[in-house]
């Protein structure tokens, strides 16, 4: 049975990993100053978006999911003949329209997919399920890695889907903004992006950065540190400590709103990398999507892993 894994463009994984494992990416629409672009997760294009548009606060910017009809066409034209079962891991439904639109699109292909498969001479049924990841950025990435791993173990599709659904509550995703303006004014879909007036004022006056956890559809500030370097180091140390305690799956994912070499030069990253290698944990560092960069700003960091609930 051919199983396909689909994510949307807010999912942060290296392009090489996405291509190696045949992960399909649902694009999102970026709007900068009234002009529309497609975020298809091309690293070079993404860096261009960060340089030209996202780093300039004066340019109005937002990201939106593709329409139901556009997603329906992607399902029919790219997935129905390539796979027998498809799992779509969407961005957090409380923070994005992708889950609802992909779900509506999945209902819209019920009759059409049968005709497509019959005309192509393909027998057997086709099934597509949409799962709310409850998270964003590297959090979606770690769940996608888990989906690939479980598919490689040839789990029955429904068992795989239920396992991933359970893994949503095991997902820890920490986001560290470099510039609180973006989180406060564009944010994660809630008032102030989880940063209140006091926290925003403190951030501006004393350069205090929050560590925001995005898990199971909710957000909360789990720590603070003075300066981005200290806050990023704290997030990376949390990932390292999770490896020490024991992960549910042997993978940690990271993303950065800029050149990943900046993260690789951090002592905390090098320490995390050494611990990951010693424990045979895969470590993936990607450029943060422009879709999330619009909301979190340039220089933001995200880190994620799967850990049993306390």
- Answer whether 0.85 is exceeded by the pTM: yes
For residue 309, the model assigns a pLDDT of 74
The rounded distance, in Å, linking the Cα atoms of 151 and 164 is 11
CATH number for domain 171-306, candidates 1.10.287.1260, 3.30.1180.10, 3.40.50.620, 3.40.50.10310 = 3.30.1180.10
Quote the pLDDT of residue 198: 43
CB contact at 8 A, 173 and 135: yes
Residue 152 CB contacts under 8 Å (≥ 6 apart), including other chains: none
41 pLDDT above the threshold of 90 = no
Distance of alpha carbon 177 from alpha carbon 231, whole angstroms = 9
Q: Which CATH class is domain 3-168?
A: alpha beta
What is the torsion angle, in degrees rounded to the nearest 10, for the CA atoms of residue 241, residue 286, residue 51 and residue 205? -10
pLDDT of 194 strictly over 60: no
Distance CA 170, CA 174 (A): 13
pLDDT attached to residue 192: 37
The pLDDT of residue 40 is 85
Domains of the chain, by residue range, sit at: 3-168, 171-306
Taking alpha carbons only, the member of 234, 217, 232, 221 closest to residue 195 is 221
CA distance 12 to 153: 23
Q: Looking at residues 67-91, what average pLDDT do you find?
A: 95
User: How many Å apart are CA 10 and CA 143, to the nearest integer?
Assistant: 13
Percentage of the chain modeled with pLDDT above 90: 77
pLDDT for the residue 201:
44
* Among the listed residues 88, 103, 104, 108, the one whose alpha carbon sits nearest the alpha carbon of residue 10: 88
pLDDT one-digit tens code per residue, 93-141: 998 999 999 999 999 998 788 888 988 888 788 999 999 999 999 999 9
In the predicted model, what is the mean pLDDT of the chain?
Answer: 91
Q: Give tens-digit pLDDT for 224-235.
A: 999 999 999 999
- H/E element, 226: strand 218-226
Structure confidence at residue 189 (pLDDT): 53
Residue 221 near residue 212 (C-beta atoms within 8 A): yes
pLDDT in tens, 279-301: 999 999 999 999 999 999 999 99
Residue 202: pLDDT band with limits 50, 70, 90: very low
- Residue in this structure with the two tokens 């396992």, named with its chain if needed: 163
Q: In angstroms, rounded to a whole number, what is the distance separating the alpha carbons of residues 100 and 45?
A: 27
């Amino acid at each position: 049975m051919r199983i396909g894994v689909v994510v949307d463009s807010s999912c942060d994984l290296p392009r090489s990993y996405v291509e190696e494992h045949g992960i399909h990416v649902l694009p999102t629409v970026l709007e900068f100053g009234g002009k529309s672009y497609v975020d298809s997760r091309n690293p070079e294009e993404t860096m261009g978006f960060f340089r030209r548009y996202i780093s300039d606060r004066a340019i109005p910017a937002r990201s939106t999911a593709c329409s139901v009809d556009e997603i329906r066409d992607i399902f029919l034209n790219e997935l129905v003949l390539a796979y027998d079962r498809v799992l779509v891991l969407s961005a957090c439904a409380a923070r994005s329209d992708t889950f609802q639109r992909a779900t509506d699109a999945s209902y819209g292909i019920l009759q059409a997919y049968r005709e497509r498969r019959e005309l192509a001479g393909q027998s057997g049924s086709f099934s597509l399920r949409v799962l709310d990841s409850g998270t964003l950025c590297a959090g979606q990435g770690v769940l996608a890695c888990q989906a690939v791993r479980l598919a490689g173990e040839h789990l029955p599709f429904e068992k795989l889907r239920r396992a991933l659904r359970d893994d949503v509550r095991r997902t820890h995703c920490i986001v560290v903004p470099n510039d609180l303006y973006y989180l406060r004014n564009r944010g994660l879909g809630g008032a102030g992006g989880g940063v209140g007036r006091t926290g925003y004022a403190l951030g501006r006056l004393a350069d205090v950065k929050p560590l925001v956890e995005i898990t199971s559809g909710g957000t909360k500030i789990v720590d603070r540190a003075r300066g981005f370097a200290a806050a990023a180091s704290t997030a990376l140390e949390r990932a390292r400590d999770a490896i020490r305690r024991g992960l549910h799956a042997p993978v940690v994912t990271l993303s950065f709103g800029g050149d990943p070499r900046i993260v690789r030069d951090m002592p905390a990253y090098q320490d995390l990398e050494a611990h990951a290698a010693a424990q045979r944990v895969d470590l993936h560092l990607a450029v943060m999507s422009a879709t999330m960069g619009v909301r979190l700003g340039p220089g933001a960091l995200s880190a994620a892993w799967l850990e049993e609930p306390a």
